[in-house]
Chain A
Amino acid sequence: MNPRTRHALEFVLDNLVWFMLLFVLVVFSIFIPNYFQLGIFANIIEASSVLGVMSIGLALVIIAGHMDLSVESVAALSAMAVGILFCSSGIGMGVQLHPEWLMVPVSLLLALAVGGLIGAFNGFLVVKVKMSAFIITLASYIWVRGLVLVISGGRSAQDLAPAIRWFGIQRLIGLPLTAWIAIACFVVFSLIMAKTPFGRHLVMIGGNETATFRAGIRVNRNLVIAFVLAGAIAGLAGWLLAIRTSGATANLGVGLLFNAFAAVVIGGVSLKGGVGTLPGVYAGVLLLSAINTAINLMGLPANFTQVIHGLLVLAAVLLDAFKQTIRLRLA
């Protein structure tokens, strides 16, 4: 095989999920009436912003060889914290700040801080107490959701302050600002993972933690940062979720975790750690969203979504194994 075809083949393998996305979009556009519209595509991107942001944090931790099951609950807690403070009906306290725009940074910082704190707690236990991240974050997944129920009393907050809502309404080139925030997050974190020593170290820690420790990389520090980032990013997802629903309910975001997982796996991130890129994850998120939209347009019962997502995850894992064998041939 000449180097040229080999490069081409490797390029396709590295970006397989983008080709899948393209393929799916083309097929849907051809066979589903009304699918091929700018509005539909904008909707696909818009609908994937919360899931997309959450998937970034999850992917970071998984690439570093660990796990964070708590992202969904953390997002819900952040959303609830923002909802209780800045909603004007339900359990919302309707806190007003002057000038009004001040509510934006305050609510955002609050959401990030709530997420970051829980992330720090997770990371500390994983690194210092050396417990399995799976168990610790499973516990967090449960107790943080419990906390949401406790502080809300099972009720909801509605009518988020208009100054914050503005991000969900104001559009730029056909997309609401919330979607642009998600896209910006993907760009920033993709660059961090691909271009900075921190990102490189996370990938190597996911590949061989002992080797990185021996090489003098501060593994524990990097891992705690990864967990804090995952938490803070989940907090941001919660903030976007609160904007999207203009408030918060006690069961806000239930099921997002599994979609995030699906997106991450479909995006080419290996659960064994050390493999995967964030652009791939974004393609995974868009792919899920494109399929959801297709299901809606075809008028299939929404219950089918879950079946299809499950099969898609299976397909992604099989595909990953298949890619490995092709790569071995290439080497």
Chain B
Amino acid sequence: MSEPLLVLDNVTKNYGAIEALKGISFSIGKGEVVALLGDNGAGKSTLVKIIAGGLEPTSGRMLFEGKEFLARSPAEAKAAGIETVYQDLSLCTNVDVVANFFMGREITRKVLGIPVLDERAMETVVEKALASAGTRIPSLRTNVEHLSGGQRQAIELNRFVHWGGKLVLLDEPFAALGVEQTRRGLDMIRQVASQGIGVVIITHIMQQAFQVADRIVVIRQGVVAGDVARHKTSPDAVINMITGETLAGAGPAG
């Protein structure tokens, strides 16, 4: 494995008396694609939210690029270089494609010292980004509410490819995509990783995990039940880890 980008050391999260995460430890290298698998309620989404700044861990620590890291808000995580694509779409359907692409990062120019949106500059960037990804959207000025589910997801995926950062978290990103678009999405992930960006992808679909991931991390009941390189395991073995029949190849469990 290459140099670790993010290291999680015994991260826990309690909701009252319920222990959602009982101590998660694993790491992600630069340019590595890690598939995070696990049954419903295993704690995958909780983990992603902790890394992305949506939730604070109860205990444990994280190292990002070798430095102590804790994001108290999504803004902090973004500033550190962590991009997240959530399972439920994070688009504002009441504004247009350009506004969504630049949400929170608008290009402005100063007019009398007041920041004013530079719509033309933003439109050019979006046009380029979407064209290079082969996504076709009739007009960048249509409100997102008029676009199809696939087009919406394409915007989100292109958004993370464009902004890149250092680490990308994808929480079931292909839920609304067709076969061809999913294939393109998986290509995008490999392309992003080849630029040295770490990728964590949560998925339920074993086939996708094996298609795209370098390493597979299985979470079961709030602990890491398995942490194996893709070429050293098989879908059957991973399913067993998810359901808990074996702990073969288990990583540092809590």
A residues with CB within 8 A of B: 195-197, 200-201, 203-204, 206-208, 210-218, 274-275, 327-328, 331
- A212 adjacent to B117 (CB under 8 Å): no
Beyond A208-B93, A275-B94, A331-B142, list 9 extra A-B contacts (CB 8 Å).
Answer: A200-B95, A200-B99, A203-B92, A203-B95, A204-B95, A211-B92, A211-B103, A215-B78, A327-B146
Cα–Cα, bound, A331→B52 (Å): 34
B94 adjacent to A214 (CB under 8 Å): no
Task: With both chains docked as a complex, state the minimum distance between the C-beta of B161 and any C-beta of chain A, in angstroms.
Answer: 16
Q: How many whole Å from A190's CB to the nearest CB in chain B?
A: 13
Chain B 139-161 near chain A by CB (<8 Å), digits 1 or 0: 00010001000000000000000
Q: List 29 A-B contacts (CB under 8 A).
A: A195-B117, A196-B116, A196-B117, A200-B95, A200-B117, A203-B92, A203-B94, A204-B95, A206-B94, A207-B93, A207-B95, A208-B92, A208-B93, A208-B94, A210-B90, A211-B89, A212-B103, A213-B74, A214-B54, A214-B74, A214-B84, A215-B74, A215-B90, A215-B103, A215-B104, A216-B77, A216-B104, A274-B95, A327-B146
Taking CB atoms, residues of chain A closer than 8 Å to B79 are 216
Contacts of A208 in B (CB 8 A): 90-94
Q: Please tell me if the beta carbons of B116 and A195 are within 8 angstroms of each other in the complex.
A: yes
Quick check: B103 and A217 within 8 Å, CB to CB? yes
Q: Separation in Å of the A210 CB from the closest CB of chain B?
A: 7
Known: A203-B94, A208-B93, A275-B94. A216 touches B116 (CB 8 A): no
CB pair B91–A218 under 8 Å, yes or no, is no
Interface residue count on the B side (C-beta < 8 Å): 29
For A199, the closest partner residue in chain B by CB is: B117
List A contacts of B75 (CB < 8 A): 216-218
In chain A, what residue has the closest Cβ to B90?
A211
A274 to B142, CA, bound (A): 15
Known: A207-B93, A274-B92. Is A212-B104 also a contact (CB below 8 A)? yes
Can you name the residue of chain A whose Cβ is closest to the Cβ of B103?
A215
In the assembled complex, how far is the CB of residue B114 from the closest CB belonging to chain A, in whole angstroms? 7
The CA-CA distance from A212 to B73 in the complex, in Å, is: 12
User: A211, B115: Cβ atoms under 8 Å?
Assistant: no
Which among A204, A214, A275 has the greatest number of chain B C-beta atoms within 10 A?
A214
Nearest Cβ on chain A to B6's Cβ, whole angstroms: 18
Q: How far is the CA of A331 from the CA of B146 in the complex (A)?
A: 6
Q: Measured between C-beta atoms, what is the minimum distance from A26 to chain B in Å?
A: 32
B210 at the interface (CB under 8 A from A): no
Q: Which B positions have Cβ atoms within 8 angstroms of A?
A: 52, 54, 73-75, 77-79, 84, 86, 89-95, 99, 103-106, 108, 114-117, 142, 146
In chain A, what residue has the closest Cβ to B89?
A: A211
Report the separation of the CA atoms of residues A203 and B92 in the bound assembly, to the nearest whole angstrom. Answer: 9
Per the bound structure, the CA–CA distance linking A331 and B97 in Å amounts to 14
Q: Which residues of A contact B74 (CB under 8 A)?
A: 213-216
- Minimum distance in angstroms from A251 CB to a CB of chain B: 38
Q: Which one of B84, B95, B104, B114 has the highest number of Cβ atoms from chain A below 10 Å of its Cβ?
A: B104
**Cβ of A195: which chain B residues have Cβ within 8 Å of it?**
116-117
Cα separation A55 to B115 with both chains bound (whole Å)? 25
Closest chain-B Cβ to A165's Cβ sits at a distance in Å of: 32
Q: Give the CA-CA distance A144 to B92 in the complex, in Å.
A: 35
Cα–Cα distance between A217 and B100 once the two chains are bound (Å)? 12
Check if A214 sits within 8 Å of B117, measured CB to CB.
Answer: no
A8 to chain B, nearest CB (A): 15
**Chain B neighbourhood of A217, CB < 8 A:** 75, 103-104
CA distance A208 to B86 in the complex (A): 14
B210 to chain A, nearest CB (A): 29
- When distances are taken between beta carbons in the complex, the residues of chain A under 8 Å from B117 are 195-197, 200
CB-CB under 8 A from B103, the residues of chain A are: 204, 211-212, 215, 217
A211:B73 contact, CB within 8 angstroms = no
- Chain B residues contacting A203 (CB-CB under 8 Å) are 92, 94-95
Distance between Cα atoms of A195 and B118 in the complex (Å): 8
In the bound complex, what is the Cα–Cα distance between A328 and B143 (angstroms)?
11
Pairs of residues from A and B, 9 with the lowest C-beta to C-beta distance, nearest first: A331-B146, A207-B94, A216-B75, A274-B94, A207-B92, A211-B90, A215-B104, A215-B103, A204-B92
How far is A92 from B103 in the complex, measured between Cα atoms in Å? 50
